[in-house]
Amino acid sequence: MAKRKRKKRMARGQWSTRDISMLRRLFPTNPTSRVARKLGRKTDAVKKKASRMGLKKDNRYLRRIGRA
């Protein structure tokens, strides 16, 4: 049986460089709940981090979901 590679756990609340780059790439064009699932974090944590980083939803995405 092959061993599974374990993801190195970080202290609670810390964001890895990989997580931050994934957030930058996914947040503008995806639902926040989907981004949170992919990152393994709560939706509120993703919203707060995105806000602190100055990330916003893309205008085309907002129009597509009827919010702009």
Domain limits of the chain? 17-64
Across 41-58, average pLDDT = 98
Greater pLDDT, 48 or 7: 48
pLDDT, position 15: 96
pTM, two decimal places: 0.80
**CB-based burial label for 10 (10 Å; 0-12, 13-18, 19+):** exposed
Q: Which amino acid is at 48?
A: K
What does the pLDDT average to over 32-60?
Answer: 97
Give residue 58's pLDDT band: very low, low, confident or very high (50, 70, 90): very high
